[in-house]
């Protein structure tokens, strides 16, 4: 058997009637969920930050209601640079690790908060890392997938100033701590699908559910690609297969 994890990212939900870079982000989130769920039923959903462009509790409640209208799978949300953590908590967004059981194997989905309210670039504190280390302790589970908002690999020049720059150092230490059971990293923020490696781990960035940014751009540029998402298939031997999709598919 395998586990299917749906990653949605950078939904940038606005107030009703408003748009983000010309997109009706509520409508495109609904369309992304509908398209993804026609492919698979997810065992879990990861929402990797920038859930709201208008970071108010009402926006997060609407996000939760939108997801719940289409899927009942466990949900792991984490904040991005456009989010306010307090508002996410006020809306009761689920932000705890998820253990997914597949016959005799448990995959743990964990999040690292790389955001600080009102700061575009990544901020990973000692407390954030201590929390992550704690999440990756114990013998109950066999493999883990880590989700963050900001990338740990270079993507586009104008976005590289926002990345988590020192990840390879603490990831190596974390891998020793958890006996190399961490098997991959997913993130959002860059509004495009890329595959990289950090500290010997596969690292995937994921398209936005609304507007994409142009790859390899020197400066901010919007791409014409449609809203997107990512599927991750978690195998019982610790392997991860993954693919990104766009509504035009
Ligand atoms: Fe974003």
How far away, in angstroms, is 208 Cα from ligand 1 center? 7
The verdict on pTM exceeding 0.95 is: yes
List, for residues 27-52, the tens digit of each pLDDT value: 999 999 999 999 999 999 999 999 99
SS3 string, the chain, reads CEEEEEEECCCCECCCCCCECCECHHHHHHHHHHHHHHHCCCCEEEECCCCECCCCHHHHHHHHHHHHHHCCCCEEECCCCCCCHHHHHHCCCCCCCEEEEECCEEEEEEECCCCECCECCCCCCHHHHHHHHHHCCCCCCCEEEEECCCCCCCCCHHHHCCCCCCHHHHHHHHHHHCCCCEEEEEECCCCCCEEEEECCEEEEECCCCCCEECCCCCCCCEECCCCEEEEEEEECCCCEEEEEEECCC
pLDDT reported for residue 88: 98
Quote the ligand 1 centre to 24 CA distance (angstroms).
14
Residue 96: per-residue pLDDT: 97
How remote is the CA of residue 176 from the centroid of ligand 1, in Å?
32
Q: Would you say residue 236 has pLDDT above 80?
A: yes
Domain ranges of the chain: 2-246
Architecture of domain 2-246: 4-Layer Sandwich (3.60)
Kindly give the distance from the C-alpha atom of residue 200 to the centroid of ligand 1, in angstroms, as a whole number. Answer: 26
Residue 27, pLDDT score: 97
85 close to 79: Cβ distance less than 8 angstroms? yes
How many C-alpha atoms does 65 have within 13 Å on its Cβ side?
Answer: 9
Q: How far away, in angstroms, is 190 Cα from ligand 1 center?
A: 7
Residue 212 CA to ligand 1 center (angstroms) comes to 9
User: Cα of 188 to ligand 1 centre, how many Å?
Assistant: 7
Q: How far is the CA of 124 from the centre of ligand 1 (A)?
A: 18
The Å distance, Cα 213 to ligand 1 centre, comes to: 9
Q: From the CA of 29, how far away is ligand 1's center (Å)?
A: 13
pLDDT by residue (tens digit) across 102-140? 988 999 999 999 999 999 999 999 999 999 999 999 989
Sheet holding 44-47, edge to edge: 75-77, 44-47, 2-8, 228-235, 240-246
The pLDDT assigned to 158 comes to 86
What spacing in Å lies between the alpha carbon of 141 and ligand 1's midpoint? Answer: 31
């Amino acid at each position: 058997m395998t586990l299917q994890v749906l990653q949605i990212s950078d939904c940038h939900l606005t107030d009703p009637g408003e748009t983000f870079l010309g997109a009706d982000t509520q409508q495109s989130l609904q369309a992304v969920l509908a398209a993804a769920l026609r492919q698979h039923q997810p065992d879990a959903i990861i929402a990797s930050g920038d859930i709201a462009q208008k970071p108010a509790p009402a926006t997060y409640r609407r996000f939760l209601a939108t997801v719940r209208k289409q899927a009942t799978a466990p949900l792991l949300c984490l904040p991005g640079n456009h989010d306010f953590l307090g508002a996410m908590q006020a809306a009761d967004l689920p932000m705890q690790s998820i253990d997914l059981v597949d016959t005799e194997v448990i995959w743990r989905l964990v999040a690292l908060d790389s955001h600080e309210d009102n700061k575009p670039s990544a901020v990973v504190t000692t407390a954030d890392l201590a929390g992550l280390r704690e999440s990756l302790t114990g013998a109950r589970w066999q493999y883990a997938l880590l989700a963050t908002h900001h990338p740990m690999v270079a993507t586009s020049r104008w976005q590289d100033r926002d990345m988590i720059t020192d990840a390879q150092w603490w990831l190596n230490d974390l891998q020793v701590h958890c006996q190399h059971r961490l098997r991959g990293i997913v993130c959002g923020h860059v509004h495009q699908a890329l595959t990289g490696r950090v500290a010997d781990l596969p690292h995937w960035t994921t398209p936005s559910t609304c507007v994409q940014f142009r790859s390899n751009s020197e400066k901010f540029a919007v791409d014409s690609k449609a809203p997107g998402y990512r599927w991750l298939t978690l195998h019982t031997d610790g392997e991860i297969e993954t693919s990104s999709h766009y509504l035009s598919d």
